[in-house]
Amino acid sequence: MTTVLLVVAVLVAVLMLFVLIELRKGGGSGRTDDPNAVSAVISSMSERLTAIQEGVGAMKVLAEDFRGFEALIRDVNSRGAWGEVQLRQILEEVLAHGQWEENVETIPGTGKRVEFAIKFPGMNDQELVWLPVDSKFPLADYQRLLEAQKAGDADKAEESRKALENAIVKAAKDIREKYIAAPHTTEFGVLFLPTEGLYLEALRRTKVNDELSRLRIVLAGPTTFSALLNAFRLGFQTMAIEKRSSERVPDHGDAGDLLSAFYDGELRGIAD
């Protein structure tokens, strides 16, 4: 905000200089005592000051909005909510309603509810299985890393990287332990990181890749998650078309069996 005020002060000074020059010129009439010339210059200055005032007002609003957003993401609960909002938005954009649900108890009787879960067709007599999707936003560790990198502090940066990877691995373990149990769920889950920068930083960490591979947790940023959902959707549609045309499911192995029996809502959407 200090920078904004400084810019405004400079602009006002320039305008005053402009007024003095115009008055000295007599507003183009050649006379400094011409009332019309003076009035025209003052009117011009008033218009410019009004424009500056409007611009300052807009900048104040933006500054207040930014401070509000900064306070929002610094709060733990709000950061979690922000990740959930992004997840919901992507799910709504890519999948049809009814193909996913929110706050799902993926393992019956545990009372543990994952933020989101995608419906997959069940095997044999089972109606469906859930694919758990949970978000994580370790902002504090990520900010410390960025600050250390900016300051050129290699030791602090490495310390922050380790804290960041520990937070991500812990979140992956929570998904595995709380939300995944065949035959109620798929054998894997998705850990969603709400910013591309955080996602790319996590991918660089060998420990994160190794641990998540062992836990069978897929790491996804916004773009990766959208691509993953699109792959699911296309698979669902392809298998639904094959089922509709042949009235039987071709043998495509486990993946084909999982996708081919996707619930009737997909078939009805294609038929419509």
Q: What per-residue confidence (pLDDT) applies to 29?
A: 47
Q: What per-residue confidence (pLDDT) applies to 133?
A: 96
What phi and psi, each to the nearest 5 degrees, are found at residue 189? -130, 175
The 3 state secondary structure assigned to 7-71 is HHHHHHHHHHHHHHHHHHHHHHHHCCCCHHHHHHHHHHHHHHHHHHHHHHHHHHHHHHHHHHHHH
Q: What per-residue confidence (pLDDT) applies to 228?
A: 92
Token pair 């999707």: residue: 133
Q: What per-residue confidence (pLDDT) applies to 263?
A: 45
Question: How many whole angstroms separate alpha carbon 149 and alpha carbon 40?
Answer: 55
Lookup: tokens for 93: 């954009």
**Per-residue pLDDT for the chain (272 aa), expressed as one digit of tens each?**
555 445 555 555 555 555 555 555 554 444 445 555 555 555 665 566 566 556 655 555 544 544 544 444 454 444 556 778 889 999 999 998 889 999 999 999 999 999 999 998 777 666 789 999 999 888 788 888 888 888 888 889 889 899 999 999 999 999 999 999 988 999 999 999 998 888 998 998 999 999 999 999 999 999 999 999 998 888 777 766 766 665 554 554 444 455 554 444 444 444 44
Handedness of CA 183, 186, 188, 194 (dihedral sign): negative
- Contact 226/90 with Cβ under 8 angstroms? yes
- Indicate left, alpha or beta for 166 from its phi (over 0: left) and psi (-120 to 50: alpha): alpha
| 185: number of Cβ within 10 Å | 20
Q: What per-residue confidence (pLDDT) applies to 138?
A: 82
User: What is the pTM (predicted TM-score) of this model?
Assistant: 0.62
Question: How many whole angstroms separate alpha carbon 189 and alpha carbon 84?
Answer: 16
Which of the 8 DSSP states describes residue 125? Answer: T
Q: What per-residue confidence (pLDDT) applies to 187?
A: 92
Q: What per-residue confidence (pLDDT) applies to 69?
A: 45
